[in-house]
Amino acid sequence: MATTSTPGGAAPRTSLWGRLDERIGGYAYIAPFFIVFGLFGLIPILFTAWVSLHQWGALSDPTFVSFDNYARLLADPRFWNAAFNTLSIWVISTVPQLILALFLAHVLNETLLRGKGIFRMAMLVPNITSVLAVGIVFSSIFGRDYGLMNFLLESLGLNRVDWQASQPSSHVAISTMVMWRWTGYNTLILLAAMQAIPRDLYEVAAMDGAGRLRQFFTVTVPQLRNTIIFVTIVSTIGGMQIFTEPLVFGGTQQAITGGAARQYQTLALFLYEQGFRNFQFGYASTIAWVLFIVILGFSVVNLLLTRRIARD
């Protein structure tokens, strides 16, 4: 192998040993990642692709069925239902969450604010709690007959809601868990980005007579473009895989199907149902790949959309 120096790099004068050390070291240092990821990430992923072309049940051998599983999946109403639920829960949890986080970050960005540390800490604590714990607590809050939320609604003279029973109400309840856990975290991230915005921009805007609200929309939001994209993509990746919240919300009996009408079964739950309840490894693997493609597609669309919105 010849000496191909990386273009652009300010090549220092070093010995042959130094260059070798750098090159070999480079590979050696990233090797653990690729080895472990290869074994526990890449191989399973490729293997999943192979499995998805087979019919494979518990305690039996796989038979090759080509793309049958994919055709079956696309014709399976349970799949479309789960896809819709996933999307719906993602939208209901992400959009208000982002708006709320932006707002809270803006408020926290007040320079003369007292008790900053406490408020920031309050933003952090929900996020360090496990999803399972959050699920258990919120399931009790959203109980139909003795849940706190219904007690509250009733005290306000409103009707109680059977949270699990319908699609909209169950989605709202599940989204609440997601929002509670992530709004604060995203607030901190947005806050950090806000603080990095050069103050001159505000000064200029202020001299142009822009009020605080105008400043927010003409300076803050556009400057946060990259961060908003980042936050959205992260929430997309998480949102498409949502599993524990609906699982715990459903208690023990109806959890995996997401209710009697599959009203809150997400794609990850559907995958789990096929893979580890029905032990249809072929079909479950098919769902996994389609889920992956959906996530990839969403991330790309997201990137494009958010870019455009932020630019306008």
Partner 1 sequence: MTRTAPPVAEETRTRRRVGRYHAGPGIGTYVVLVIALLLSIFPFYWMFVVASNGTDAINRIPPEIMPGPNFLDNVSKVFERVAMDRAMLNSAIVATVVASFQTFLAALAGFAFAKLRFRGRNVLFVFVVATMMVPLQLGVVPLFMITKELGLVNNLLAVILPGLVGAFGVFWMRQHIAGAVPDEVIQAARVDGASSFRTFRSVVFPMVRPAAAILWLLTFLGAWNDFFWPLIVLGKPESFTAQVALRQIQNTAYVTDFGVDMAGTVIVTLPLLILALVVGRQLIKGIMEGAVKG
Partner 2 sequence: MRKNRVFGVAMSGLLATAAFGAAPVAAQDVTLDLWNFGAMGLEELITQYEAEHGIKVNIVQRGYDEHHEALLTSLMAGEVPDIAAVEVGYNSLFKATPQVFTDLRQFGAEALEPTYLDWRWAQGVATDGTIIGIPTDVGGIAMCFRTDLFEAAGLPTDPDEVSALWPDWDAFIETGKTFTAANTGAKFIDSAGGSVYNLVKNQGTEKYYAPNDPDTLIYETNPQNLKAWATAVAAIEAGLSANISQFSPEWNAGMANGDFAVLGCPAWMMNYIQGQAPDTAGKWNIASAPEKGGNWGGTQLTVPAASDNAQAAYDLIAWLLTPERQLEVFKLHGNFPSTPELYDTPEIQDFTSEFFSGAPVGKIFAESAKALHPVYEGPRERAIDREFGNGLGRIEAGLETADEAWASTLANVLLALQN
Dist. CA 293–CA 267, nearest whole Å: 12
User: Do 86 and 239 contact (CB within 8 A), yes or no?
Assistant: yes
Contact window for partner 1 (CB under 8 A) among 65-73, 74-82, 86-94, 130-138: 130-138
Q: Is 30 in the site for partner 1 (CB under 8 A)?
A: yes
Could you tell me which residues come within 8 angstroms of residue 159 by beta carbon, excluding any fewer than 6 positions away? 153
Q: Is 299 in the site for partner 2 (CB under 8 A)?
A: no
Dist. CA 128–CA 182, nearest whole Å: 10
Q: Is 34 in the site for partner 2 (CB under 8 A)?
A: no
Could you tell me which residues come within 8 angstroms of residue 285 by beta carbon, excluding any fewer than 6 positions away? 48, 49, 51, 52, 69, 275
For the segment 126-155, give every residue that binds partner 2 (CB under 8 A): 139-140, 143-146
Q: Could you please report the per-residue DSSP string of 235-298?
A: HHHHHHT--HHHHHHTTTTSTTTTSTT-TT--HHHHHHIIIIIS--HHHHHHHHHHHHHHHHHH
Query: Which two tokens mark 13?
Result: 């004068």
Q: Is 284 in the site for partner 1 (CB under 8 A)?
A: yes
Dist. CA 238–CA 217, nearest whole Å: 28
Angstrom distances, CA of residue 217 to CA of 42, 95, 185, 186, 220: 43, 17, 22, 18, 6
User: Do 277 and 303 contact (CB within 8 A), yes or no?
Assistant: no
* Residue matched to tokens 């996994």: 288
Q: How far is CA 9 from the centre of its chain?
A: 36
Contact of residue 131 among partner 1, partner 2, none (CB under 5-8 Å per partner type)? partner 1
Of the pair 237, 261, the CB lying nearest partner 1 is at 237
Contact of residue 57 among partner 2, partner 1, none (CB under 5-8 Å per partner type)? partner 2
Q: Is 162 in the site for partner 2 (CB under 8 A)?
A: yes
Q: Of these, 201, 230, 261, 302, which contacts partner 1 (CB under 8 A)?
A: 230
Contact window for partner 1 (CB under 8 A) among 71-79, 90-98, 164-172, 271-279: 271-279
Count interface residues toward partner 2 (CB under 8 A).
33
Minimum CB distance to partner 2, residue 123 (Å): 31
For the segment 237-256, give every residue that binds partner 2 (CB under 8 A): 251-254, 256
Query: Which two tokens mark 61?
Result: 């051998």
Contact window for partner 1 (CB under 8 A) among 81-89, 90-98, 162-170, 281-289: 281-289
Q: Is 148 in the site for partner 1 (CB under 8 A)?
A: yes
Minimum CB distance to partner 1, residue 195 (Å): 7
Quickly count: other Cβ atoms within 10 Å of residue 29's Cβ: 9
Q: Is 172 in the site for partner 1 (CB under 8 A)?
A: no
For the segment 205-244, give every residue that binds partner 2 (CB under 8 A): none
Q: Is 212 in the site for partner 1 (CB under 8 A)?
A: yes
Contact of residue 256 among partner 1, partner 2, none (CB under 5-8 Å per partner type)? partner 2
Q: Is 72 in the site for partner 2 (CB under 8 A)?
A: yes
- Give the helix/strand (H/E) hosting 64: strand 63-64
Of the pair 170, 220, the CB lying nearest partner 2 is at 170
Rule CB under 8 A: which residues touch partner 2?
Answer: 57-59, 72, 76-78, 139-140, 143-146, 162, 165-166, 251-254, 256-257, 259-261, 263, 274, 276-280, 283
